[in-house]
Amino acid sequence: MKTHKNIYYKIYKWENLILAFKKARKGKSKKPYVKKFEENTIKNLEKLQFELMTQTYKPKPLKTFILRDPKTRKISVSDFKDRIIHHALCNIIEPIFQKTFIFDSCANQKGKGNLFAIKRFNKFLHKVTMSGKTNGWFNKNQVTGYCLKADIKHYFKEVDCEILTNIINRKIKDKKTIELIIIILKNYNNKRGMPLGNLTSQFFANVYLNELDYFIKHELTSRYYIRYVDDFVILHKNKSKLIFWKNKIKKFLEKNLKLKLHHQKSQIINLSREIDFVGFRNFYYFKLPRKRSIRKMQGIIRQYQKEKISQRKIQQNIPGMEIIYQSYSY
């Protein structure tokens, strides 16, 4: 396994801090805290650079609020200057780990997302259920395929920070970089959990569950596996095989990552039925958005009509609508 040493200086390089600042302010240039930072951008970035160089950087406490969207979630947001540090860190270490991620890890990666996951699901669905077709047409009563639809219970709350650090340490053999990562993690909790709302949490979520990805792909040798953050599906013709794999996955998560499958949300479902995945109700020939997804979209449109949000916010939701339109072409 290739390891990376002496990369800490790259994090505080001026060019990297400028890029991190631009990423952190993207879409937020009108926010008061961004405007305040920009009153003296160079001085503020120089201060961050000095703190990183001298290893005196300390993040500010997270600001926490409750978001009902419609599910109630606790969101913890970092100070703007800390978000710049997060981007600076991820700019350097994300490409290192990106190469190790499996193709069907779909969340928080460039060129991937809901639409990518749905396309892969549809492809796997048709491969597994080809025996359920008669004269080129699908016969619901002849479907032999199944789907293990699984969810990890309280994922972000239960990530073990020591295990995560050890996983990162396999690739990053740089003490100063590891110490910076620990500082970021401890700003939320000393031992367990990562805050919803941090860029680093999104990235670390993929690093942590990359262990599960490799177990399922290489040890269980599953061909039709897709993961989107802590939701994942495995498709197979044989229900018994999925039952066996589910038990193996349950033991692997508990032993290696100290995580648990969500008992109610982890089920084996016949592929002739509806599969709820990445915000859509997936059927064989079409897809429907969840009712809460429709309500969310309607709310965003109303906000745009009242000029409370920008056109960019609408555009961010277009890929989800594209899924609906494309679903009728299969």
User: Which residue, chain included where needed, has tokens 């339109």?
Assistant: 325
**3-class secondary-structure state, position 50:** helix
Of 212, 206, 208, 246, the closest CA to residue 228 belongs to 206
Phi then psi for 145, rounded to 5 degrees? -90, 160
Identity of residue 205:
A
What average pLDDT does the segment 64-80 reach? 81
Kindly tell me if the per-residue pLDDT of 139 is higher than 60.
no
Give the tens place of pLDDT for each residue, 140-173.
556 679 999 999 999 999 999 999 999 999 999 9
Confidence band for 328, pLDDT divided at 50, 70 and 90: very low
pLDDT of residue 329: 37
Count of CB atoms within 10 A of residue 50's CB? 12
Q: Which tens digit of pLDDT belongs to each residue from 249-302?
A: 999 999 999 999 998 899 999 998 889 998 888 877 677 777 776 777 777 777
Select, from the ranges 128-132, 205-209, 270-274, 313-317, the one with the highest average predicted confidence (pLDDT): 205-209
Question: Is the N-terminal amide bond of 70 cis, ω within 30° of 0?
Answer: yes
Residue closest to 125 by CA, chosen among 281, 244, 282, 276: 282
Share of the chain residues as helix, strand and coil, in percent rounded to the nearest 5: 55, 15, 30
> Please, what is the Cα angle at 230 between 227 and 236, to 5 degrees?
40
Q: How far apart are CA 7 and CA 27, in angstroms?
A: 29
> For residue 138, what are its two tokens?
């699908």
CA-to-CA dists, residue 133 to 40, 254, 285, angstroms: 65, 39, 12
**DSSP at 305:** H
Q: What is the pLDDT of residues 168-190, one digit of tens each?
A: 999 999 999 999 999 999 998 77
pLDDT above 60: residue 319? no
pLDDT value at residue 280: 81
pLDDT at 136: 47
Mean pLDDT of 71-89: 91
| 196-235 pLDDT per residue, tens | 889 999 999 999 999 999 999 999 999 999 999 999 999 9
- With tokens 């990805």, the residue in question is 213
The arithmetic mean of pLDDT across residues 7-15, rounded, is: 98
